[in-house]
């Protein structure tokens, strides 16, 4: 059984006996506290975690009193490192032995000054030999992308024109977004890259007639990557680093598990030392347990408590609506009316069809909105996202295609037209909220510590229960806004910092 520095690896004492926990915990406090939890969770199945030693990473909080780029200073990230490889957190990008070209990209193109907290901790683990696998959880909008993009760019040997880094994302949109970051950051490196997503239908060449991929970095969606690999157009024998963005979804039973595992195994077969990075803002216990068995045994991991994940920057509200129609009225007569100038808005719906219907309803009422969902043509999807990014549209209706990762700083308002629900085969049971999706949706607002608000439109007892469970899960209170009370909405938006 585990040896851990928390001193107690038995199940009998899940909470160490510390004094009353102060509001602002020091790193070490949390590390110890959580290690015990971790050990317990892991003990159920004898996983890798059970043989981990815990190094409390030496971060002198006081020395680092200056604010990190984007994360709450007191955010607690629990690090578990395997073996005895010591890692020092990086207080500057210079600490990381990056090439001058990469540094230039970071400072000039990205306009970064210093690593965010997750970057400071994870980058040494990613970049330093022996290049262990890493499972990393970090808050929404905290700079996860930079971590793995930097990892990929810095591992590529510029002299070899073959794929050396591969990143797999759940959606086309996230692939494109990540590629834009990579190209910007790697602008001065000369590293080549290619998106593995379905091409525009017109200039699509059959895969069998395509030249093999030479690009050094490939980012794409699972279907296309699998296809390219099976047609031997994407060689993986020289891969040094494999990244799963939104890893919990990529490895979830009802997500992309099969595809992801197939790709991972294929790579492992020819290339057992390829470093694997798993990044997400969320890892529920089931997935957490599974992924830690999926990667190599001596992996490192970073986790955040779920209570800490709900961004304080984003205020959460709920509106009880007597029926579906009144949801539309709430949106147009109150939220749109009062929140006219608060920035861009994303309205999340559960199904493709409701995206279409709500779009039509709002357009019929004279509002300029667009909508996106997976049934649209790829060209159409790209166009709608571009228009939204360019600020040509203010309101975007979306299924959960955009729930994760979509980074648009002007989005200050998120409306949950439908609450996210976990799909369960046993529909006899009462529905469970999808906590992870909820958190990801909320995270579309308040990017990089900006202000934001989310309105949850509740209809009926079922929704009330779901909402209550969400509140309980994250340990937060979601303020109710009276359906037809203008002042309530105003107060909410003021409180969120979106209204004078």
Partner DNA sequence: TGTCAGA
Residue 412 in the binding site for DNA (CB under 7 A): no
The reply on whether position 360 binds DNA by CB under 7 A is no
Minimum distance of DNA from residue 437's CB (angstroms): 8
Closest CA to 124 of 73, 85, 66: 85
1 touches DNA by CB under 7 A: no
Q: Per rule CB under 7 A, is residue 262 in the interface with DNA?
A: no
Q: What is the b/e burial string over 322-333, where b = at least 16 CB atoms within 10 angstroms of the residue's CB?
A: eeeebbbebbee
Stretch that binds DNA, among 143-151, 168-176, 313-321, 471-479 (CB under 7 A): 168-176
Contacts of 409 by beta carbon, 8 Å cutoff, 6+ apart: 447, 448, 450
431 interacts with DNA by CB under 7 A? no
Dihedral angle of Cα 65, 71, 74, 76, to the nearest 10 degrees: -130
Burial class (CB in 10 A: 0-12, 13-18, 19+), 489: buried
CB 126 within 8 A of CB 301: no
Pick one of 85, 91, 128, 259: the residue that binds DNA (CB under 7 A): 259
CB of 195 to DNA, least distance (A): 9
What 3-state DSSP class applies to 151? helix
Choice from 221, 370, 412, 416 touching DNA (CB under 7 A): 221
The answer to whether the beta carbons of residues 292 and 49 sit under 8 Å apart is: yes
Question: In terms of CB distance, is 6 or 221 closer to DNA?
Answer: 221
176, 195 in Cβ contact below 8 A?
Answer: yes
Residue 260 near DNA by CB under 7 A: no
Residues 6+ apart with CB under 8 A from 330: 319, 321, 455, 457, 483
373 binds DNA per the rule CB under 7 A: yes
Q: φ, ψ for residue 385 (rounded to 5)?
A: -65, -40
Residue 76 engages DNA in binding (rule: CB under 7 A): no
Stretch that binds DNA, among 6-14, 251-259, 440-448, 456-464 (CB under 7 A): 251-259
Instruction: Confirm or reject binding of residue 256 to DNA (CB under 7 A).
Output: yes
* List 399, 408, 412, 456, residue binding DNA (CB under 7 A): 399
Binding span for DNA by CB under 7 A among 252-260, 270-278, 312-320, 456-464: 252-260
* Residue 346 near residue 444, CB atoms below 8 Å: yes
Q: Could you say which of 160, 207, 270, 325 contacts DNA (CB under 7 A)? A: 207
Token pair listed for 181: 């970051």
Task: State yes or no: residue 325 binds DNA (CB under 7 A).
Answer: no
What minimum distance in Å lies between the beta carbon of 378 and DNA?
8
Task: Please state the separation of Cα 65 from the chain's center in Å.
Answer: 27
Q: Does 224 bind DNA (CB under 7 A)?
A: yes
- 352 lies in the binding site for DNA (CB under 7 A): yes
- Residue 34 or 246: the one with the smaller Cβ distance to DNA is 246
Task: Name the residues that contact DNA, by CB under 7 A.
Answer: 170-172, 197-198, 207, 220-224, 227, 249, 252, 254-256, 259, 350-353, 373-375, 399-401, 423
């Amino acid at each position: 059984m585990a040896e851990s520095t928390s001193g107690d690896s038995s199940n009998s004492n899940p909470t160490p006996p510390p004094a009353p926990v102060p509001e602002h915990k020091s790193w070490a406090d949390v590390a110890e506290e959580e290690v015990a939890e971790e050990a317990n969770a892991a003990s159920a199945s004898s996983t890798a975690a059970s043989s981990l030693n815990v190094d409390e990473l030496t971060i002198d909080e006081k020395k680092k009193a200056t604010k990190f780029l984007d994360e709450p200073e007191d955010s607690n990230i629990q690090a578990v490192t395997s073996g005895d490889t010591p890692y020092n957190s990086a207080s500057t990008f210079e600490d990381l032995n990056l090439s001058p070209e990469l540094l230039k990209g970071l400072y000039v193109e990205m306009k970064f000054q210093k690593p965010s907290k997750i970057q400071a901790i994870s980058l040494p683990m990613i970049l330093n030999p022996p290049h262990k696998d890493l499972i990393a959880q970090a808050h929404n909008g905290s700079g996860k992308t930079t971590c793995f993009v930097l990892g990929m760019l810095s591992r590529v040997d510029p002299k070899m024109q073959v794929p050396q880094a591969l990143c797999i994302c759940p959606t086309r949109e996230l692939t494109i977004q990540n590629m834009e970051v990579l190209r910007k950051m790697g602008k001065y490196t000369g590293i080549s890259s290619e998106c593995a997503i379905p091409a525009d239908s017109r200039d699509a060449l059959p895969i069998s007639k395509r030249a093999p991929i030479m690009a050094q970095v490939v980012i794409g969606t699972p279907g296309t990557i699998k296809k390219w690999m099976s047609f031997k157009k994407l060689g993986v024998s020289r891969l040094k680093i494999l990244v799963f963005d939104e890893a919990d979804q990529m490895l979830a039973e009802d997500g992309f598990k099969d595809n992801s595992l197939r790709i991972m195994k294929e790579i492992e077969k020819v290339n057992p030392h390829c470093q694997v990075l798993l990044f997400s803002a969320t890892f529920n216990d089931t997935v957490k347990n599974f992924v830690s068995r999926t990667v190599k045994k001596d992996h490192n991991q970073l986790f955040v408590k779920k209570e800490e994940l709900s961004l304080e920057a984003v205020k959460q509200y709920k509106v009880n609506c007597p029926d579906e129609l009144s949801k539309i009225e709430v949106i147009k007569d109150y939220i749109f009316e009062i929140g006219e100038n608060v920035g861009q808005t994303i309205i999340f719906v559960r199904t493709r069809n409701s995206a279409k219907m709500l779009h039509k309803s709002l357009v019929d009422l004279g509002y300029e909105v667009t909508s996106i969902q997976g049934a649209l043509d790829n060209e159409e999807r790209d166009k709608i996202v571009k228009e939204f990014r360019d600020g040509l549209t203010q309101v975007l209706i979306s299924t959960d295609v955009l729930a994760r990762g979509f980074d648009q700083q002007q989005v200050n308002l998120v409306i949950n037209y439908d609450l996210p629900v976990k799909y369960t085969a046993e529909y006899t049971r009462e529905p469970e909220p999808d906590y992870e999706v909820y958190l990801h949706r909320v995270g579309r607002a308040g990017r990089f510590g900006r202000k934001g608000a989310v309105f949850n439109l509740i209809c009926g007892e079922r929704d009330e229960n779901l909402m209550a469970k969400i509140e309980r899960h994250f340990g937060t209170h979601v303020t109710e806004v009276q359906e037809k009370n203008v002042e309530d909405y105003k107060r909410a938006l003021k409180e969120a910092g979106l209204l004078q």
